[in-house]
Amino acid sequence: MDAAADGPVVTEVLIVGAGPTGMALRLALDRLGIASLLIDQHAAGLNTSRAAVIHARTLEVLEPLGVVPDLLAAGMQATDFRVREADKVLLHIGFQGLPSRYPYALMCPQNITEAILAGRIGDGLGSVWRPARLLSFTEASDRISAELARPDGSVQHVQARWIVGCDGADSVVRQQAGIDFVGGNYAETFVLADLRMAWPLQRTEVSLFFAPEGLMVVAPLPTCAGEPEDRYRMVAAVAGPASPPNLDTVEALLAARGFPSPGRRVKDMPWSSSFQLQHRVAAQVRRGRVLLCGDAAHVHSPAGGQGMNTGIQDAVSLAEPLRQALRDGNSHGLDAWARHRHRIARGVVRMTDAMTRIATVSSPPGRMVRGSLLGLVGRVPSLQRKLARRLAELDR
């Protein structure tokens, strides 16, 4: 990355957005010796847990980047996924038989994942530019010219061969490229909470509860050495707009939709949030010298914990096609990457949408049919294995 005096910064790839997706791309490019500039409009990374699961396929693609040992040390293994309706198990999926070195879902809060990725970047070819906001960019036949707003009010000019939008659902890169975000909003809002609580189910289980009022997920989170093993993430769909839940709201959701046990007791709620749920896929993930990864390219229900994982896989798989395009000007690899990742994004949105809609079936006949179908899946080992591979993202 070079800059003439009072001139533009010149780099090969401008990455907009320093969440897990943008940082994974930066590390993958560093590994190939490709100069990149990673910017983010926020002064610091997240200090909240947000996404909390890393699936087997994501751990596999992260191996060459050198971050997996730290992630494994920071996280905890969940080996079982159960779909429940109150105290009834509708479906059990075990990850122990996955064809992977990581036969589990790794529970690791997003702020920890980001800190590990950022620490690795600090060992590489330079840090993240924060805060630096993309104002605009133009595309020529051989380059992107971008303008960034810096904290002192100045405008920094950047020239890059490619620009990659990893800047979330409201992506400025996608909007300025004129790429439609096709889909819509759910009527529900999702509420999230990190809890300290007594919970009667095993700490190796991620539980998806079906209820007429909406789905709810309860998953274990890792704790520090010497602390009680009582940290959990709760995610629930609620009707209409909603603010971040308070403790009373969380207690009511757990009582109405969760495991009906006197052994459940919420002790504390360190963090909560809410967000409007969407199901959208970018019309294209490549247009000219503009590329999209992560939430900039696809957003969907958090059912199944697919979002951050799919974004990281978008990013890491992009590095080699970019290297080929930079080396010989041949963008056929980028075209193939775009087709493949767009197909995967559409599949993820379909799967998570189906999970969300199935979870909210309210009529007694519909719930009976749902239970019968899930019971059938649970009795057929080949279907169980297929679903486990899909949840772990090993079918891609």
What end-to-end distance do the CA atoms of the chain give, in Å?
Answer: 34
> Quick one: CA torsion of 53, 36, 115, 148, rounded to 10 degrees?
-100
From first to last of the 396 residues of the chain, give the pLDDT tens digit. 554 446 899 999 999 999 999 999 999 999 999 999 999 999 887 655 578 999 999 999 999 999 999 999 999 999 999 999 888 899 999 999 999 999 999 999 999 999 999 999 975 556 789 999 999 999 999 999 999 999 899 999 999 999 999 999 999 999 999 999 999 988 888 899 999 999 999 999 999 998 888 889 999 999 987 888 999 999 998 887 788 999 999 999 999 998 887 888 899 999 999 988 889 999 999 999 999 999 999 999 887 788 899 999 999 999 999 999 999 998 999 999 999 999 999 999 998 888 878 877 778 888 888 888 888 888 899 999 999 999 999 987
Helix (H) or strand (E) holding 341: helix 332-359
What's the pTM value of the predicted model, to 2 decimals? 0.93
**How do strand 9-16 and strand 155-165 relate by DSSP bridges?**
parallel
The tokens for 128 are 């993240």
- Residues whose CB falls within 8 Å of the CB of residue 39, separated by 6 or more in sequence, listed in order: 14, 15, 16, 17, 18, 128, 129, 130, 132, 133, 134, 148
Helix (H) and strand (E) counts in the chain: 10, 19
**How do strand 80-85 and strand 133-139 relate by DSSP bridges?**
unpaired
Sign of CA dihedral 277, 283, 285, 290: negative
In the chain the domains, ranked by start, together with CATH numbers, are: 2-52+110-180+283-358 (3.50.50.60), 55-108+378-396 (no CATH), 191-277 (3.30.70)
**Location of structure tokens 């096609």:** 321
